[in-house]
Structure 1
Amino acid sequence: MNSIGSQSSSVTREVWEDQEMRNALAAREVSTIYKLLRRKGVSQRQIAAMTGQSQSEVSEILKGRQVMAYDVLVRIADGLGVPRGYMGLAYDEVTAARVAETREAPEAEEPENVKRRKFLAHAAAVAVGAHVLGADSGSWVSNPVLTPAPGRIGMTDVRQVEAATRALRSLDYQYGGGFCRDAVVAQLSWGQQMLSASGTDVVKQRLHVALADLHNLAGWTSFDIGLIDSARNHFGRALELAKAGDSNQLVANILYRMGRVYLHKDSPDDALKMFQLGQIAAQESGSELAVAVICANQAWAYAMMGHEEQTMKLIGRTRDEFARANAAEAEDWVKFFNEDDVYAMIGTVHTVLAQQVDTKHTKFAIPALHRAISSYGDDMARSKAFNLSFLATNHLLDGDIDHGAKIGHQAVDLAQHLKSRRVRDRLLPLKEEADKRRNYTDARELADSIGRFYEADVS
């Protein structure tokens, strides 16, 4: 008998060729795979022995627990003797990124505060060139094995990476990270090959920056669909490459984006640490626009903490830095921060202050958000959805229930066409305000509409 995986196993090679089994392998439905093995007479004990799992783990998987972690999938495939390609595990880097959001064994995961501490240490080491916090700073950063590289690269090769990044970023703005993240990761798989190729110093430096920005986009699209660990890994790699490419502007941008992850997770104190490091890089870059981006986001963090005076000082500095900036000379990754975005950030910050400190801030938030929304085209659908949600919240806080509900429904309608978990999450504060006013029909219908959208999105 040609047994696979274990000498005591009754699993033969033909088992993997069965069509039902091949379908389960292709879909990585481990529960179905184990059930099919049980039908073939393979015991739970044998499955556990071959895969290195406990019998209780095998039992839970048989009951329907999903397996998403890449290393666990590989261990199962190798232990059972399944050809990796049957489970789509042949190309390690891409596959690892696609299944980065693991639901496996949460008790074995590092606590989130430990991950944040390690990332902060790594970011500080890259941004200021020394391990200023004295902590472990890099074992968590993904370093996949690279495929064979081309022999030599030129500026044309680098421009191809830059052009692909611009195109994919546009898709992210318009449709959400879920629409293009796989394409970004696939592009990275190709682009990373060039790091070990030969080329002039100028070409190599620009390549480092181009790949840093592509990792930056991979981190952002991962964040947009809720893959926080994957985002952190990509941002960590992006920092290293940006520093190697001597681009302080990009270092600042990466740190701003990681700070936004923490703002979204309601951790403004951790976000501020990222923004403070980003401010160092932004100032060293000499880019007023990069400084303006950091200041605006610091203001957001302080608003979430209820620090009204500090928030307003930073909004004032945002305006000043933006007024001095030369947008025409800005790099691609910071050009997004135009006048529309300045108004959007002002509206956002005043919305948070209206919720956290005093509803008087709605009178500043509403006109700023109106100004931003009126300027957004179809290519900025996600930003428009965010700001519609904030605008609706302000109108509810102001007691304008009918108008607030009408705008809120516009936000929900737009969100349904986006593949973005962030948009869904940003609707929840609006739902909370609508729920507080359920005695009004319009508010109740809006709250129920958001609830239905949320349930459909997570189901």
Structure 2
Amino acid sequence: MAAMDAFRSADRQSGGGRLYGAVLEHLRHRVGPRLVDLSCGHSVFAAAAALTEMAGWMAHDGGRDGDAFGHFGRALALARTGGDLPLAGHIAASMSHLALQSDDTVAAARWAHTGLDLAARGPRIPALTARLHTMQARAMAAADQRTAARHALDQAHRDLGTAVASDPHPWLSPFDRGRLASEAALALLDLGEYDEALAAGEEAVAARGADRARSLALARITLADIHVRRGDLDAALTVGHDLLGTSPALGSVRVVQQLDGFRDLLEPHKGYGPVREYLVRFGDARRARLLLLADLMPSTGGTRR
């Protein structure tokens, strides 16, 4: 648990790309051998599942989605072997997120449903069901299923509203109002509900401090995207200038890819002087970032969150 907390804290601040190898080494040398020690009991499977899922997220953050899928699949099998249904449901939510990256809305919805089924068979953890309903909402929104998306998003808010401090499962990463706001903004963006998306996006940014560098950067990118789609270029540039302050050493390919998506949204508007000037600064910052992350960057990658 101490190792998990240390990796999780470092990941939030510096990104997963640089930590991926360290987590794999920890799994290989410290956790793996215990899986064959019959005296350890089922709890070791939960520890292995949680750390393997973390490796999956770090692979995803490093632009290695194929590796991430493999880690999530192994983590799910470990959680089921250990009989930890909430953890299995939590991992299913991660599978749903990963499916969205490849625009597979059917798989994303299926994994969210699987997670809700697993969660219903274990102890009630409102933060977990809130996360799963949020992923269900995102899948439905991406598929333009407006009524279903709205229903799932409303349920996520209701569930999270009943969560208390004693709810958290020891191996589940926290799902708080900031994360819900971030995901809700993306779902509402897909639905074309830009005013509601703006409110959610602003809430997501406000909920993230400097100690959550990657989450703050991703929330700002979403907020800037919303401003562009609403036609408010000056507001988008205000957020964009904040993004230029994101540490170029942040080891997250996902942030780089989404920053590129923001740049692509601005390109059609470069006839506007402030946008043109911003894109020059953006290009300089991007080159510096790519130099520092050259060993992590894949040759291609998507921009969906």
Post-superposition Cα deviations, 1:223-263, rounded to whole Å, max 9, x if no partner, equal 11012222122212211110111111111111111221221
Match for residue 262 of structure 2 among 423, 430, 435: 430
- Larger deviation: 183-192 or 419-428? 419-428
* Corresponding residue number in structure 1 for 2:21: 182
* 1:397 aligned onto 2:225: no
Aligned to 1:297: 135
What are the superposed Cα offsets for residues 174-194 of structure 1, whole Å, 9 maximum, x if unpaired?
111112111101110121011
Q: 1:309 to 1:449 in 2, by over 3 A?
A: farther
Corresponding residue SS for 2:246: helix
Greater relative contact order (Cα < 8 A, sep 6+): 2
Distance in 1, Cα, partners of 2:77 & 2:2: 21
TM-score (norm 2): 0.87
Give the Å deviation of 1:453: 5.0
Q: 1:204 to 1:259 in 2, by over 3 A?
A: same
| 1:382-402 alpha-carbon deviations (Å, 9 max, x no partner) | 111111011111122222212
Check conservation: 2:126, 2:167, Cα contact below 8 A: no
What is the 5 A alignment of 1:47-196?
162-190=1-29, 191-196=31-36
> What residue is the counterpart of 1:347 in the other structure?
185
Q: Distance in 1 between matches of 2:102 and 2:38?
A: 42
Q: What is the aligned partner in structure 2 of residue 251 from structure 1?
A: 88
Q: 1:249 to 1:449 in 2, by over 3 A?
A: farther
Distance in 2 separating the partners of 1:216 and 1:452: 35
Amino acid of the residue matched to residue 306 of structure 1? D
- Shift, 1:454, TM fit: 5.0
1:450 Cα deviation from its structure 2 partner: 4.4
* CA deviation after TM superposition for structure 1 residue 207, in Å: 0.8
Q: Which structure is larger by alpha-carbon Rg, 1 or 2?
A: 1
Q: Which residue matches 1:217?
A: 54
Number of corresponding residues:
289
Superposed CA offset, 1:8-65 (max 9, x none): xxxxxxxxxxxxxxxxxxxxxxxxxxxxxxxxxxxxxxxxxxxxxxxxxxxxxxxxxx
| 1:417 is aligned to 2:246 | no
Give the whole-Å Cα distance in 2 for the aligned partners of 1:444 and 1:267: 35
Give RMSD over aligned pairs. Answer: 2.0
**Matched-pair contact (CA < 8 Å) for 1:344–1:368:** yes
Classify 1:333/1:453 alpha carbon distance in 2 versus 1 (closer, same or farther; 3 Å).
farther
Residue deviations 1:320-375, cap 9 Å, x none? 11112334221144352112222222222222323xxxxxx222122222222122
The answer for the alignment partner of 2:70 in structure 1 is 233
How many Å separate the matches in 2 of 1:188 and 1:331?
Answer: 21
Equivalent position to 2:108, from 271, 283, 286: 271
Q: Is the 8 A contact 1:348 1:387 kept in 2?
A: no
Distance 1:412 1:239, change over 3 A: same
1:412-449 C-alpha deviation (Å, 9 max, x unpaired): 43162311111112223322221121111222334454
Report what 1:326 is aligned to.
164
- Return the match for 1:373 from 193, 202, 205: 205
Please state how far the C-alpha of 1:452 moved relative to its aligned partner: 5.1
- 1:197, CA displacement in angstroms? 1.9
Provide closer, same or farther for how the CA distance between residues 307 and 454 of structure 1 changes in structure 2, counting only shifts above 3 A.
Answer: farther
The answer to whether the 8 A contact 2:127-2:167 is kept is no
1:204 corresponds to which letter in structure 2? Answer: G
Shift of the alpha carbon at 1:267? Answer: 2.4
| Cα-to-partner distance string for 1:195-245 (whole Å, 9 max, x where unaligned) | 12241xxx4111110111010101110111012222122212211110111
**Greater alpha carbon shift after TM alignment, 332-341 vs 228-237:** 332-341
In structure 1, the partner of 2:44 is 207
Letter in 2 for 1:178: G
Rate the CA distance shift 1:353–1:413 in 2: closer, same or farther, 3 A. farther
The amino acid that maps onto 2:219 is N
Partner in structure 1 of residue 175 of structure 2: 337
Distance 1:222 1:321, change over 3 A: same
User: Partners of 1:310 and 1:452 in 2: how far apart?
Assistant: 43
The more displaced of 185-194 and 408-417 is 408-417
State the identity %. Answer: 26
By how many angstroms is 1:270 displaced? 2.3
2:275 is matched with which residue: 443, 452, 459?
443
Q: What is the letter of the counterpart of residue 419 of structure 1?
A: G
Q: Which amino acid aligns with 1:170?
A: S
Segments of 5+ residues of structure 1 without an aligned counterpart are 1-161, 355-360
Q: Structure 1 residues 260, 452: closer, same or farther in 2, change over 3 A? A: farther
> CA 1:339/1:173 → structure 2, altered by over 3 Å: closer, same or farther?
same
Residue 147 of structure 2 corresponds to which residue in structure 1?
309
